[in-house]
A and B are shown apart, each in its own frame.
Chain A
Amino acid sequence: MGLAGPRKSTKIGNDPNNTKWTRSTTGFGHRIMSSQGWTPGSLLGAKDAAHANHLTAASASHIKVTLKDDNLGLGARIGRESEPTGLDAFKGLLGRLNGKSEVELKKDERKRDDVRLARYAALKFPEVRFVSGGLLAQEKEAAIPPPTPMDATSKKSKSDKKEATKTTEDDETSSSESDAPARKSKSKSKSKSKSKSKKSRSRDEIDDESSSESKKKKKSKKRKADSEQSDSSDKTSEPEVKVAATISRERRPMGRNVTRSRHIAQKKRAIMDDKSLNEIFMIKA
């Protein structure tokens, strides 16, 4: 964390863990427990309990938790973005020292590269959205429910079809690719994503695992795009909202300009929409 990180100053006492108490063996509690046959280091409970291998570490020592005073999500780390990129090379080296196979290392490296590329692309080029037009081959047309407008993915490299199957990984991942779009339209929320390539990458990973484990549970990945972004684009994907359709197709800026652009878009929308113009000029239709 650099100088710009949040400053936290806390005074830590001389003995925050109270080791003085922990180490003392003269207390009343220690005496009574020893007289009942407890020895330091052993667990409480029945001798040779049948369920002994179900016990957790919390039976040996109190539960330790880290104090959390921020809103950081589960698994997120502060300063993850600014991870020094040069470490990648060392990862390979360290992996080799730890006895990982070459193939594995290559795979890891490839994954890292993919992430970097995806991040780069997401930052550089705003995504282009497409609407699904069904499959070229018409064989399974019947399986597709009434045309639900949906966003297709704007993949620059990966095959769309492959991804479509991945979205519906249930126990029969290997099911025919042809009915994939049908399923996909069911779970259309998944296809709202800003960084598609990232998504598909992680999906691929998951897929490997889940198919091998053959879990019943469905697993899918969902990217939470900026709410503004997805909200407006979702609305446009519904056929009845015609007015906004053209607008939200525009390039949406990132970062702090999001809210500003939203206001601009609102104003534009108001000007281009006859109904609201009438309202502004107080003309009764």
Chain B
Amino acid sequence: MADNRSDSEGGARAKRQKMDAGDPKNNPYLAHMYENNNVSDNSALAKFKRHQTTAALAKKAEDGDINPFSGRPFSSKYFSILKTRRDLPVHTQRDEFLQLYQQSQILVFVGETGSGKTTQIPQFVLYDDLPQTQGKMVACTQPRRVAAMSVAQRVAAEMDVKLGEEVGYSIRFEDMTGPKTIMKYMTDGMLLREAMNDPNLSRYSTIMLDEAHERTMATDILMGLLKEVVVRRPDLKIIIMSATLDAQKFQRYFMDAPLLAVPGRTHPVEIFYTPEPEQDYVEAAVRTVLQIHATEGEGDILLFLTGEEEIEDASRKIALEGDEMVREADAGPLKVYPLYGSLPPHMQQRIFDPAPPPRRPGGRPGRKVIVSTNIAETSLTIDGIVYVVDPGFSKQKIYNPRIRVESLLVSPISKASAQQRAGRAGRTRPGKCFRLYTEGAFKKELIESTYPEILRSNLSSTVLELKKLGVDDLVHFDLMDPPAPETLMRALEELNYLACLDDDGNLTQLGRLASDFPLDPALAVMLISSPEFYCSNEILSITALLSVPQVFVRPPAQRKRADEMKNLFAHPDGDHLTMLNVYHAYRSNEAQENPKQWCHDRFLSQRALQSADNVRSQLLRIMERQDLEMISTDFEDKKYYENIRRALCAGFFMQVAKKDTGGKSQYLTIKDNQNVLLHPSTVLAHEAEWVLYNEFVLTTKNYIRTVTAVKPEWLLDIAPTYYDINSFPKGDIRSALTRAADRLARKEKMRAEKHR
């Protein structure tokens, strides 16, 4: 892969050289040949000595007429932005920052929201690190793609350069950088991918990990890797940027690295608790919002709830009561906006609308209420919020390695997260935060900080990544928060059964292939082995459909109608095939004429189908690159659906349940022996003896969702090591498997006799 890349760069070079042939001085690839002249001639950076500059020097360069990075004169817009930049809190500590940066290899930087760290620190670094003189780049990682894009755009404007030239970004499926790029914003996942091909990250002179307090999986692994890289590369500088004051852990982890803290620009927030616990937090939240509307001064309200259903429900209630308040008591108008991840983007955008105006001049001011999941906690900044209502819960992903279930559960937030939520009230002016729990509960029931993603996830894809990164000793890999041993054990086992790791724990060819897909190993293995079952086209569609949100819409008011529509697509053998039917129908000419109407009539989510389409084409590109054949069985062939179901087994043989002899529709998962029920949403027509499931849903009743009927013979055939009959204890499952094995043997024998 690395070879490919350099090839393509070579091609670009050849082209550009032709273009710039007139003046080789402008050729960026030959820049190093002319650099010295350039610098001494007209650059403000001429006197700059790498890692010995000061804030005063940089200020002079910034105030000059010529942009030292692009060589073009500064525009007038640049100077107006420069003025606002100088007002940011980080600016006062530029000298202090530079000293620490120059002295140490690793620096921990703490800046609260609004300090300007994400946009300014990288520029401070540019003026001191001068990566262009080394032929290297400065990288700054972001946990989210949107952030990487928007911040790069902002910094390009601040530096008065074109986005994609000196300043660029790189996110999955989109590379907006060029040969001149010296400042690169990227997602943390992207940097991790680069580390797979370039273990020393030799393209970079400084790496900044921004928003490190969010502790995404990729950031955590990067920190572990960088700890090793700094030993091999003494010239590489690392800055860890975090927004929490709990930076001690970062410091300790990075060999007592020096710390620089910059205060944010926030207003005081007054915090209120309830004197007693609330019996119903949703109802209490609604009441509190209405009470604020009735009694508190102007300012918007942000209410945190846990999930889509809850949010829609509460929004409706608030809107209703708000209207009544307006009618009966002449309250100010109240506008309610729900906000959650699966909301269509144009609806999400609405939260930035200004609050409604008073109903008549001089009347009471209007107010907007945003009812949100915890995406408004860190990912999104909404100005104008003065009141925050915090019931103290959020939906969090939890992984239980014992029963191999990853699920989103409503659980209490952490103290850090509660403080973060409260802080949202003080962005524009002094605010208030109403916590719907007692102070005692805050102190006793909440954990200190939210568990990082690495402790809450299935690690199988992470282990695959680490293996690809060359980390062999997984047990002693120095993570900031090492996961539970059982979680690692499970991940290793799963990868071994999937044949991604051989029996000595080394990466196999299949494993190497699978790690190229941005998918769960089970899905990736299913996709890679699908050509063997003559249905790679179909499996690719199913994989795409499984990686996007639910395609079926079921509005509470029209459940019956929605179910009828779903039954139009139903396949008696299960939900995977039903989803495939939906996708095929969606791709038909009839549907493509007016997809919006078509989806709406059939209670399908057009957004989900569109993104499935998108994911499919991206995965298709990877498959083509890997020379995986795209084939289909003839639709008329009676094996068409059977082949697909077999191919599903190739990836999901570890997620199979067998009907329990006990009750109706009671199932028992294989090996883990958990009692489960078929999710009511399934279209499975008959009570299949063996089913394969995509998802284990943890509630007070355990459900398996998205199920397809399979045959034990297939399982024995496709995953003989997992379904090694001798490893099963005596019982129902073992005897069923033995019977299936006998049937299989008899068939073999008959076939052999026929051939003779």
Q: Which residues of A contact B (CB under 8 A)?
A: 8, 10-22, 27-30, 32-33, 35-38, 40, 42-47, 49-51, 54-56, 58-63, 65, 67-69, 71-77, 80, 187-190, 192, 198-199, 202, 206, 217-227, 230-232, 234-235, 241, 244, 266
Contacts and interface: CB of A to CB of B under 8 A. Distances in A.
B736 interface: no
B400 interface: yes
Contacts of A75: 277, 437-438, 440-441, 444-445
Interface residues of B, number: 103
B248 A54 contact: yes
B480 A51 contact: yes
A38 B288 CA distance: 52
B135 to A, nearest CB: 34
Interface stretch (B73-81, B163-171, B693-701): B693-701
A13 B402 CA distance: 14
B253 A50 contact: yes
Contacts of A27: 489, 493
Contact of A49 (B410, B451, B478): B478
Nearest to A69: B700
Given A71-B281, A74-B277, A75-B277, A220 B270 contact: yes
A188 B253 CA distance: 47
Most chain A CB inside 10 Å of its own CB: which residue of B276, B412, B436: B276
A30 B451 contact: no
Contacts of B283: 71
17 contacts: A12-B675, A18-B402, A44-B475, A58-B481, A63-B456, A65-B396, A65-B411, A73-B437, A75-B440, A75-B444, A190-B272, A202-B275, A218-B270, A221-B273, A221-B274, A222-B434, A227-B287
A72 B473 contact: no
Given A10-B700, A74-B445, 11 more contacts: A13-B675, A28-B496, A33-B475, A42-B485, A62-B484, A63-B451, A65-B411, A74-B412, A219-B439, A224-B291, A227-B291
Contacts of B18: none
Contact of B475 (A22, A36, A61): A36
Given A8-B700, A22-B486, A73-B281, A45 B477 contact: yes
A55 B403 CA distance: 24
Nearest to A201: B275
A68 B478 contact: no
B562 to A, nearest CB: 24
B256 interface: yes
A37 B477 CA distance: 12
Given A30-B489, A36-B473, A227-B290, A63 B398 contact: yes
A277 B440 CA distance: 51
A158 B261 CA distance: 45
Nearest to A29: B489
Contacts of A42: 485
Contacts of A244: 329
A199 B438 CA distance: 12
Interface in B625-672: 663, 666, 668, 671-672
A38 B663 CA distance: 42
A37 B476 contact: yes
Interface in B697-746: 698-701
Contact of A15 (B391, B673, B699): B673
A74 B286 CA distance: 16
Interface in B430-488: 434, 436-441, 444-448, 451, 455-456, 473-488
A50 B699 CA distance: 39
Nearest to B392: A74
A58 B484 contact: yes
A45 B479 CA distance: 6
B412 A217 contact: no
B295 A230 contact: yes
A198 B277 CA distance: 13
Given A33-B485, A223-B274, A59 B455 contact: yes
Contacts of B455: 56, 58-59, 62-63
Interface in B279-303: 279-284, 286-288, 290-292, 294-296
B490 A29 contact: yes
Contact of B295 (A62, A192, A202): A192
A71 B317 CA distance: 16
A27 B675 CA distance: 23
B398 A65 contact: yes
A44 B485 contact: yes
A54 B438 contact: no
B391 A74 contact: yes
B100 interface: no
Given A8-B700, A28-B492, A73-B437, A22 B451 contact: no
A189 B277 contact: no
A50 B411 contact: no
Given A21-B672, A231-B325, A221 B272 contact: yes
Nearest to B444: A75
B231 interface: no
Given A29-B489, A43-B485, A56-B451, A199 B270 contact: no
B82 interface: no
B481 A231 contact: no
A244 B328 CA distance: 10
A43 B482 contact: yes
Contacts of B249: 51, 54
A62 B400 contact: yes
B673 A18 contact: yes
A230 B475 contact: no
Contact of B488 (A14, A44, A47, A219): A44
Contact of B487 (A62, A68, A74): A62
Nearest to A244: B329
Nearest to A55: B481
Given A13-B673, A54-B249, A227-B287, A45 B478 contact: yes
Contacts of B245: none
Contacts of A13: 668, 673-675
Nearest to A15: B673
B393 interface: yes
B391 A73 contact: yes
Q: What are the 6 A-B residue pairs with the smallest beta carbon separation, nearest first?
A: A73-B278, A75-B441, A45-B482, A29-B489, A76-B277, A44-B482
Nearest to A35: B505
Given A71-B282, A188-B295, A10 B329 contact: no
Nearest to B270: A218
Contacts of B291: 189, 192, 224-225, 227, 230-231, 234
Interface string B570-585: 0000000000000000
Contacts of B290: 227, 231
B20 interface: no
A42 B288 CA distance: 47
